[in-house]
Structure 1
Amino acid sequence: MPSPSWSAKRERQYEHIRRGLRRSGKSEKLAEEIAARTVNKERARQGEAEHASRSSVEDLSSGRRGGLRSHQGPGGRTRAQLYNEAKARGIKGRSSMSKAQLERALR
């Protein structure tokens, strides 16, 4: 659901992404979540958001990424994404782990 603090442009962007995901067969709930996350990431990149994670600001933009990291295939998630999940799960020694080690620890 769009945030009341979004501009008209961000609301249009949200609706465009949500409709496209629905047309491609995603459930309404998943389409709304993906659209909101995408818009919020773009807001963070443009300095419109009050809070922004490092990965939101430093990572490739949503448009440029275009499915490069769909969390599938040989690339999978980035090390930063794996690290953040390991942190959330409380895995010890995560800061010195490589991407492969983080993937194994999270399985």
Structure 2
Amino acid sequence: MVKWSDKDERQYDHIKQSQLERGKSEDDAEEVAARTVNKQRRHEGRTPNQKTQGTGNPNTRLEERTVDELRNLAADLEISGRSKMNKADLIDAIRSRR
């Protein structure tokens, strides 16, 4: 496992505290903070994996998520045919399943 920098740790703590102040549970606040820091690290090229393996920040609108994040979410929802869907189709399928 790669160690986060001091800046990453401070960003994590700040985001987590902000989420707690907004009424999120401890687990949800930690998840949002970790995902945000890891996404920033990927964006800056500080991690070998440039694609996300998750479903994106649950507070982010579907339109703002990547196709990979939407496909992972569609997989969690067991939506068939997702690998052939474009972003708009994925969003429609996810919304109809929720």
TM-score class, shorter-chain normalisation, is: 0.5 to 0.7
Q: Deviations over 1:24-53 (max 9, x none)?
A: 221111111110000000000000112121
Q: Is the 8 A contact 2:77 2:94 kept in 1?
A: no
Q: Highest Rg: 1 or 2?
A: 1
Counterparts of residues 3-22 of structure 1 (less than 5 Å): 5-22=3-20
What is the CA–CA distance in structure 2 between the aligned matches of 1:54 and 1:33, rounded to whole Å?
14
RMSD: 3.1
Structure with bigger RCO (C-alpha 8 Å, 6+ apart): 2
Residue type of the alignment partner of 1:103 = R
Count of residues paired in the alignment: 89
Q: Percent identity?
A: 37
Taking structure 1 as the reference length, what is the TM-score of the superposition?
Answer: 0.63
Identify unmatched segments of 5+ residues in structure 1: 57-61, 63-68
Residue 82 of structure 1 aligns with an amino acid whose one-letter code is L
**Corresponding residue of 1:93:** 81
Within 5 Å, give how 1:1-107 maps onto structure 2: 5-53=3-51, 70=59, 76-78=61-63, 80=67, 81-94=69-82, 95-96=84-85, 98=89, 99-104=91-96, 106-107=97-98
